[in-house]
Amino acid sequence: MSGGPILLFDSGIGGLTVLREARVLMPERRFVYVADDAGFPYGVWGEGDLTKRIVTMFEQLISDHEPAQCVIACNTASTLVLEPLRTAFPDMPFVGTVPAIKPASERTRSGLVSVLATPGTVRRAYTRDLIQSFAAQCHVRLVGSEYLAGLAEAYIRGDPVKHRQILAEIEPCFVEQDGQKTDIVVLACTHYPFLANQFRRLAPWPVDWLDPAEAIAKRAQSLLAPQDAVSEEPDIAVFTSNEPDFAVRRLLNGFGLALAPMRH
Ligand code: DGL
């Protein structure tokens, strides 16, 4: 399977922000993009149900696409199912996307860091452990946004998204304490980089918006042997609903992804 594609997985279109970086580093590779849009948004799922859903889905995805590697381009899924996936498929390399708390704690000058994520990611023991292990010296504010992933999808579709809707979701990230201000906001949901310019425009003061996509792509590349031959086959996208709307199809087209059916 080492010549197989890289399978990138998310609940929706957020993982495309990781695909963009992965292609820059590995232009010779073929990619299969999988969006579980029938399960979107993952942020509101209970942990047991979501784990079962994703592990079951990967049985089929691995047998259908025989990937060389799977990248879980979703924080909400990675902070929950990375270990169950590795246990269920011990021969498959999995790369996860987890909140970039360690780099944020190394870079902050004020010591005030915020993590903007889905309510699921904010609830995870995995996220709390990251803070304890790598950012105990910082003040970390966890902001679980119920609507931002959906707003990012709407924005990318070209649907109207009001500034005040976005501002209401990001405002809790901005903390002032003892004369210091938040200086880094971790984008801990792969959907959010699509809105990064809006965040910059609406932010009460300038901060670094930390997008981990490039670091994830580097990690994925580091685990693969170099591939000499460029793949002839096209990159594809699989949507679990099998019915992405016109705007999403247009987006996939722009990414050079041919839509392929998901067997159910
Ligand atoms: N893109 C996903 C993440 O990185 C979450 C979006 C959702 O709620 O499904 O967390």
47-65 and 75-88 are packed helices; what angle lies between their axes, rounded to 10 degrees? 60
Q: Indicate whether 61 and 116 sit together in one domain.
A: no
Residues in CB range of 141: below 8 A, 6 or more apart? 112, 113, 114, 115, 172, 173, 175, 182
pLDDT at residue 206 greater than cutoff 60: yes
The answer to whether residue 1 sits within a structural domain is no
| Cα(143) to centroid(ligand 1), Å | 14
**Do 86 and 160 fall within a single domain?**
no
Catalytic residue among 70, 74, 138, 173: 74
Q: Are residues 109 and 203 in the same domain?
A: yes
Q: Which amino acid is at 120?
A: G
Render 26-46 in DSSP notation, one character per residue.
-TTS-EEEEE-GGG--GGGS-
In a domain, residue 50? The reply is: yes
CA-CA distance, 11 to 152, in Å (whole number)? 13
Which atom of ligand 1 is closest in space to residue 11's alpha carbon? Answer: 9
Task: Give the structural domain span for 14.
Answer: 6-97+214-260
Read off the tokens for 27: 């232009």
Q: What is the pLDDT of residues 180-191, one digit of tens each?
A: 999 999 999 999
Classify 99 as helix, strand or coil. coil
Mean pLDDT along residues 213-222: 97
Catalytic annotation, pick one of 70, 138, 173, 189: 189
Q: Are residues 207 and 107 in the same domain?
A: yes
Q: Is the CB of 8 under 6 A from ligand 1?
A: no
pLDDT tens-digit series, residues 11-70: 999 999 999 999 999 999 999 999 999 999 998 899 999 999 999 999 999 999 999 999
Q: What is the mean pLDDT of the chain?
A: 96
Q: Is the CB of 41 under 6 A from ligand 1?
A: yes
Based on the fold, state whether residues 128 and 230 are members of the same structural domain. Answer: no
Nearest CA to ligand 1 atom 2: 74
Q: How far apart are CA 92 and CA 223, in angstroms?
A: 11
Domain presence at residue 105? yes
Looking at the fold, whether 114 and 207 belong to one and the same domain comes out as yes
Cα separation, 163 vs 88, in Å, equals 43
Q: What are phi and psi of 117, to 5 degrees?
A: -150, 180
Is it the case that residue 226 has pLDDT exceeding 90? no
91 and 218 together in one domain = yes
Q: Are residues 111 and 205 in the same domain?
A: yes
Residue that is last in its domain, among 211, 226, 252? 211
pLDDT for position 101: 98
CATH code (residue 190):
3.40.50.1860
- 135 and 38 share one domain: no
Q: Is residue 56 assigned to a domain?
A: yes
pLDDT digits (tens, 9 = 90+) for 112-171: 999 999 999 999 999 999 999 999 999 999 999 999 999 999 999 889 999 999 999 999
Q: State if residue 191 touches ligand 1 by the CB under 6 angstroms criterion.
A: yes
* Adjacency order of strands within the sheet including 69-72: 94-95, 69-72, 6-10, 31-35, 236-239, 258-260
- 117: CA distance to ligand 1 center in Å? 8
Residues 129 and 145 both lie in one domain: yes
Calpha distance 239→4 (Å, rounded): 20
Q: Which of 37, 72, 118, 122 to mutate to test the pocket of ligand 1 (most atoms within 8 A of CB)?
A: 118
Report how many domains make up the chain: 2
Residue 14 forms part of a structural domain: yes
Q: Decide if 189 is catalytic.
A: yes
Whether the predicted model's global pTM rises above the 0.85 cut: yes
